[in-house]
Chains A and B, each alone.
Chain A
Amino acid sequence: MSLNELVATHQDQVTVSATIEAALSAVDDDPYNAVIASLANRARERVKIVGKQLEQGKSLRLAGVPVVVKDNYLTFGAETTAASNMLKGFNAPYQSTVVERLEAEGAIMVAKANLDAFAHGSSTENSDFGPTTNPVDETRVPGGSSGGSAAAVAGNIAPVALGSDTGGSIRLPASFCGVVGYKPSYGLVSRSGVVAMASSTDVMGPLTKTVADTALILDIIAGQDRLDGTTIQRGSDDYTQTDSDKPLKIGVVKEFMGDGVNPEVKQVITNQLDALSNAGHELVDISLPSTELALACYYIVVPAEISSNLARYDGVRFGHHTDSAKSLEEFYKHSRSEGFGDEAKRRIMIGNYVLSSGYYDAYYKKAQQARTKLTNDFEAALDTVDILAGPVAPTPAFKFGENTQDPLQMYLADVLTVGASLAGLPAMSVPAGETKTAELPVGLQLIGRHNDDVTVLKAGRVIEEVNQ
């Protein structure tokens, strides 16, 4: 059932309540550790409000739609922890703009989703609440960092989950769990009220079962917000208009199909592209030579921003604070050392290293120059085609523990997603098929021009239609 169809079944408090109670039961029964806190009490209050609005004849585009929210979004009704010990016990004094906008259209938040602590990770194994399992194969990770959100949608806990994507954190879990995951253009969706990771690439977006449902959510959350000065004007008045009448010109990125990509993943992507070609769409080979610099650039720029954003956790105003300090200096150090996990510490230290005196030019400035080259490469490529395509990730979902001993190996999971993040481009993972041996889902990544999100959504609809 599409979101529009679900909304059409809600006329009053009784019908909304039935949907939300079913979702709350699914939250309680969650076998995947996809959710880490139920919002049951607040959801039941919201049922009364939404029911009354409907009975008064108010038209609400998401009336009674249950939504699972990644726990780095500030929400009422439960703590907001970003799945970190550092923020355990933190009660948000206000809600994120995205949540406010969804609630204004009648959506009801039912639970907080698990994630890699502070969204640092690619597998959701780095959660202080324990890992999430992949509903497709419970011996495997759901991807990350929005792994709880992807598992909640794939595991039918809710039809919509909110995620955040800094370097692939929506697209990767969507690919691993076989759902649609959308990273909007940088600036199109407000970051206000979401725990900051890397402010120059952080973007909020939905995970759903279909592109049409994603388009509806984007249409409601997109646009300028006075609480986030980096938000941009919408590139489209109506993101739900995703019917396309003419064939697409699709640029197949050569570097995304290189030797590092698992052959079975490559096969699924090749089959998908063949199907598009057979349906009358034009495929063009495209080279993005600076792709090989993208991950190195990302793991300089992003830790640099993380080290700055995570400087606010000093134990004084909010968050974990130590009980064993003899001075203010010790108070800071102990609070941070006790509250942060190893991955946050690692990223803070990499960031401070590349920003430190004597190293700034060699690392950070160089990375910012690489970012320009990468962005220019993407722009040049997108001047010649409607959309770029390739795999989301070099592998399907991997097994628990496979990459946890080697942080660099884990970072390589992001090698194909960080480019669009650094360039600020809209990108999506759409289910493209399954690997032959283990029957694991593989996502096709679509990348479009900045603030031309509607073209990415249109292309996503085309893929769904071809695969029907």
Chain B
Amino acid sequence: MNKITEDDIRYIAELSKLELTNDEVEKFRNELSAIIGYVEQLGDADLDSEDVTHQVSGLVNRMREDEVADRNGADNSLQRVSKQELLDNTANATNSGYIQVDRVL
């Protein structure tokens, strides 16, 4: 069985953009070890000849016309929400219709 180490947890937390305390690292190490240990039973199953399943509905690409929809149209318009309505849910500062964040670089 693959043993999950503290370093593994710290690495996954970094990938997950989560900050963990030392106690949390130990707690999640124990819990994830049990869960990963459980799912590892798949390793014993003979599955090499099976295809992979990505989706189960069998749908292939569904196309639509690339046209501007009327936001106030009666139907479930794709454009029914204004930019301002979307911005209303950000607690960050906005500037000229954009969200302002700290410098990236």
Instruction: Please report A residues at the B interface, Cβ cutoff 8 Å.
Output: 89-91, 93-94, 97, 100, 186-187, 192, 200, 225-227, 229-230, 232, 292-293, 295-297, 299-300, 307, 311, 314, 316-319, 321, 325, 327-328, 331-334, 336-337, 340, 345-346, 348-350, 352-354, 356, 362-363, 365-373, 375, 406-408, 411, 422-424, 450
Contact = CB atoms under 8 A, between A and B. Distances in A.
26 contacts: A94-B80, A293-B42, A296-B39, A296-B42, A300-B39, A317-B89, A317-B99, A331-B101, A336-B17, A336-B18, A346-B31, A346-B32, A346-B35, A349-B16, A349-B18, A353-B36, A356-B12, A363-B39, A366-B43, A366-B45, A366-B47, A368-B52, A370-B50, A411-B38, A422-B56, A423-B56
Contacts of B42: 293, 296-297, 300, 363, 366-367, 370
A93 B89 contact: yes
Contacts of A93: 81-82, 85-86, 88-89
A345 B54 contact: no
Contacts of B104: 328
Contact of B18 (A94, A345, A354): A345
Residue from A232, A353, A367, A406 whose CB has the most chain B CB atoms within 10 Å: A353
A348 B50 contact: no
Interface of B: 4, 8-9, 11-13, 15-20, 28, 31-32, 34-36, 38-43, 45, 47-48, 50-57, 59, 62, 64, 76, 78, 80-82, 85-86, 88-92, 99, 101-104
Main secondary structure of the interface of A (DSSP, over half): helix
Contact of B76 (A97, A229, A293, A354): A97
Contacts of A331: 101-102
B56 A200 contact: yes
A86 to B, nearest CB: 12
A369 B51 contact: yes
A187 B89 contact: no
Contacts of A186: 56-57
B17 A316 contact: no
B92 A299 contact: no
Contacts of A200: 54-56
A94 B8 CA distance: 40
Given A91-B88, A349-B13, A370-B47, 19 more contacts: A93-B82, A94-B81, A97-B76, A225-B76, A229-B59, A232-B59, A293-B42, A293-B45, A297-B42, A317-B89, A317-B99, A327-B102, A336-B17, A348-B16, A349-B9, A352-B12, A353-B8, A365-B52, A424-B57
Given A297-B42, A348-B18, A349-B16, A371 B101 contact: no
Contacts of A230: 55, 57, 59
Nearest to A319: B89
A350 B41 contact: no
Contacts of B19: 333-334, 337
Contacts of B34: 406-408
Given A187-B57, A299-B38, A408-B38, A352 B16 contact: yes
B47 A226 contact: no
Given A100-B76, A336-B18, A368 B12 contact: no
A318 B57 contact: no
Contacts of A367: 39, 42
B13 A321 contact: no
A424 B36 CA distance: 24
A60 to B, nearest CB: 17
Nearest to B8: A353
B47 A369 contact: yes
Given A345-B28, A373-B50, A424-B56, A328 B80 contact: no
Contacts of B92: 316, 321
Given A186-B56, A296-B39, A345 B16 contact: yes
A375 B56 contact: yes
Nearest to A368: B52
A431 B8 CA distance: 45
Nearest to A340: B18
User: Which 9 A/B pairs are nearest by Cβ-Cβ distance?
Assistant: A424-B56, A368-B52, A318-B89, A369-B50, A369-B47, A187-B57, A93-B85, A371-B53, A296-B39
Given A368-B52, A369-B50, A293 B41 contact: yes
Nearest to A187: B57
Contact of B56 (A348, A362, A406, A450): A450
Nearest to A290: B45
Contact of A317 (B11, B17, B90): B90
A372 B76 contact: no
Given A93-B85, A318-B89, A321-B91, A332 B39 contact: no
A346 B28 contact: yes
Nearest to B52: A368
A318 B90 contact: yes
Given A226-B64, A366-B42, A373-B50, A350 B36 contact: yes
A164 to B, nearest CB: 17
